[in-house]
């Protein structure tokens, strides 16, 4: 994939908002379900606690709606102002219709086209890259990219290899044209389907539709071969972040923030080391939210929003199921005043 260029306006994030469920589940709480300790989980992953939606009547779209409504209020926009809503998720409300359609209906975005994007933990970066292309082409002017996952809906609380890793949450960004040279400067996306058997949800699709057998075999839960995924993730995420910096002539001094997908603190540290960045330039909140899959990066941007300034160089990076991975270099486009 060649470095990205555009002659027209750039696509800039002009607002961010997020929502996490209020119910906090600590590592200690998890010892009720699995044979584990707070020390093991924190040392191996960097996670202390996560949020669970804990309500069978609520789904991924409900969390996304909270994030999108908050974003519109912050930006003083009406739902009818949105042209396109891309929902990046691995846990859609249903296989179809798209969760994006449910979100646009619930928020009243009647003028918006909506669709879902499936790229596991890299979904938000794929979604932001897609929005970038639409903004640069002039086809849409106001795009919401929302990353949302109710990971507890596919979490096997008897599997100690995955039960501690994931949490629920949603984050949304507004993407608009910018004529001052700010916004997405380059993106680099990668995928390798030969990794598909290491991190997946086997049941529920056309290959293994829901049946008594599939439920008994626990095929509707997330399955991960942690060690293998770790091995690919630790090099994949570090390599792609380093590659986007190198091909754009960026050094560590040029970077204000690394915004990594929050899957494991050890993977984040490897990416930071490879980019030559100090810990003070890396957004980390995995300790409080765990891995919220498509929501991790917008959750970081939301929490750090007040510390971001126009022109700041941000490197976003992710690795996830598929395998999918990628990185985005963007120049932050606004100052937060309130
Ligand atoms: O976001 C999408 C991409 N996903 C990732 O990037 C995640 C990648 N993988 C990982 O982050 C790590 O593999 C984990 C954090 C999931 C696991 O860490 P690990 O260092 O790879 O542990 P492991 O699976 O190799 O297990 C080490 C030991 C095993 O015991 P033995 O065989 O050495 O005796 C496990 O049985 O730890 C044991 N173990 C546990 N012990 C306490 C596994 N899970 C637990 C647990 N509590 N929850």
Burial bucket for residue 239 (CB in 10 Å: 0-12, 13-18, 19+): middle
Per the prediction, the chain carries an average pLDDT of: 97
How far CA 98 is from CA of 34, 55, 101, 161, in Å, comes to 34, 21, 5, 30
97 upstream amide cis, omega within 30 of 0: yes
What's the 151 CA to ligand 1 centre distance in angstroms? 18
Contact criterion met (CB below 8 Å) for 20 and 289: yes
Measured from the Cα of 266, ligand 1's closest atom is: 11
In the structure encoding, which two tokens stand for residue 195, read together? 């990794």
DSSP 324: E
Q: What are phi and psi of 23, to 5 degrees?
A: -75, 115
Confidence of residue 74 (pLDDT cuts 50, 70, 90): very high
pLDDT over 90 for what percent of the chain?
Answer: 97
Of the pLDDT bands very low, low, confident and very high (cuts 50, 70, 90), residue 5 is confident
Specify the pLDDT at position 337: 79
What ranges make up the beta strands (E) of 127-182? Answer: 143-150, 168-178
pLDDT band at 203 (very low <50, low <70, confident <90, very high): very high
pLDDT at 2: 73
Q: Which atom of ligand 1 is nearest to the CA of 229?
A: 8
Q: Does residue 6 surpass a pLDDT of 90? A: no
Say whether 325 sits in a helix, a strand or coil.
strand
224 conformational bin, left if phi > 0, alpha if psi -120 to 50, beta if neither? beta
For 106-128, letters b (16+ CB in 10 Å) and e give: ebebeebbbebbebbbbbbbbbb
pLDDT for res 8 = 85
The pLDDT tens digits for 9-41 are: 999 999 999 999 999 999 999 999 999 999 999
DSSP 49-118: EEE----TT--HHHHHHHHHHHHHHHHT--GGG-SEEEEE-SS-SSSSS-HHHHHHHHHT-TT-EEEEE-
The pair of structure tokens assigned to 171 is 């984050």
Q: Kindly state the average pLDDT of the residues 86-109.
A: 98
CB distance 221 to 278 below 8 Å: no
Using DSSP's 3-state secondary structure scheme, residue 139 falls into: coil
230, 240, 318, 322: residue to mutate for ligand 1 pocket, most atoms within 8 A of CB: 230
Annotation marks residue 121 as catalytic: yes
**Ligand 1, CB within 6 Å, residue ranges:** 34, 36, 40-41, 44-45, 121, 160-161, 164-165, 226-227, 229-230, 233, 263-264, 267, 291, 319-320
Is the confidence at residue 98, as pLDDT, over 80?
A: yes
Mean pLDDT (whole number) for 73-77: 97
Handedness of CA 128, 322, 21, 111 (dihedral sign): positive
Rounded Cα distance between 287 and 265, Å, is 8
CA distances from residue 75 to 29, 78, 85, 169, 174 in whole angstroms, order as listed:
38, 9, 16, 21, 9
Of ligand 1's listed atoms, the one at least distance from the Cα of 45 is 15
Tell me: the pLDDT tens digits for 117-149?
999 999 999 999 999 999 999 999 999 999 999
Mean pLDDT of 205-232: 96
User: Under a CB-based contact definition with an 8 Å cutoff, are residues 320 and 122 in contact?
Assistant: yes
Per DSSP, the three-state class of 177 is strand
The pLDDT > 70 percentage for the chain reads 100
**What pLDDT does 307 receive?**
97
């Amino acid at each position: 994939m060649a470095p990205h260029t555009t002659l027209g306006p750039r696509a800039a994030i002009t607002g961010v908002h997020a929502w996490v469920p209020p119910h906090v589940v600590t590592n200690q709480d998890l010892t009720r379900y699995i044979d584990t300790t707070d020390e093991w989980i924190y040392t191996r992953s960097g996670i202390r606690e996560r949020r669970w939606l804990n309500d069978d009547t609520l789904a991924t779209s409900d969390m996304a709606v909270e994030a999108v409504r908050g974003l519109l209020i912050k930006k003083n926009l009406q739902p009818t102002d949105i042209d396109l809503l891309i929902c990046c998720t691995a846990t859609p409300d249903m296989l179809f219709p798209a969760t994006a359609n449910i979100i646009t209906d619930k928020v009243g975005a009647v003028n918006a086209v909506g669709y879902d994007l499936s790229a596991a933990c890299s979904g938000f970066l794929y979604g932001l890259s897609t929005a970038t292309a639409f903004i640069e082409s002039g086809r849409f002017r106001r795009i919401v990219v929302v990353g949302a996952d109710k990971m507890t809906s596919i979490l096997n609380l008897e599997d100690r290899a995955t039960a501690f890793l994931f949490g629920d949450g949603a984050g949304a960004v507004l993407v608009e044209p910018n004529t001052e040279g700010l916004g997405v400067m380059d993106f680099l996306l990668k995928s390798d389907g030969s990794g598909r058997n290491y991190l997946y949800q086997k049941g529920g699709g056309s290959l293994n539709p829901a049946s008594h057998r599939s439920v008994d075999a626990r095929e509707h839960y997330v399955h991960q071969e942690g060690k293998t995924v770790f091995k690919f993730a630790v090099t994949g995420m570090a390599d792609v972040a380093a590659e986007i910096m190198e091909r754009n002539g960026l050094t560590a001094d040029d970077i204000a923030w690394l915004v990594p997908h929050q899957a494991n603190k050890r993977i984040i540290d490897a990416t930071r080391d490879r980019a030559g960045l100090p810990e003070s330039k890396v957004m980390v909140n995995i300790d409080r939210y765990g891995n919220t899959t498509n929501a991790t990066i917008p959750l970081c941007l939301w929490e750090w929003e007040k510390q971001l300034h126009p022109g700041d160089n941000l490197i976003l990076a992710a690795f996830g199921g598929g395998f999918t991975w990628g990185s985005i270099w963007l120049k932050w486009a606004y100052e937060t005043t309130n």
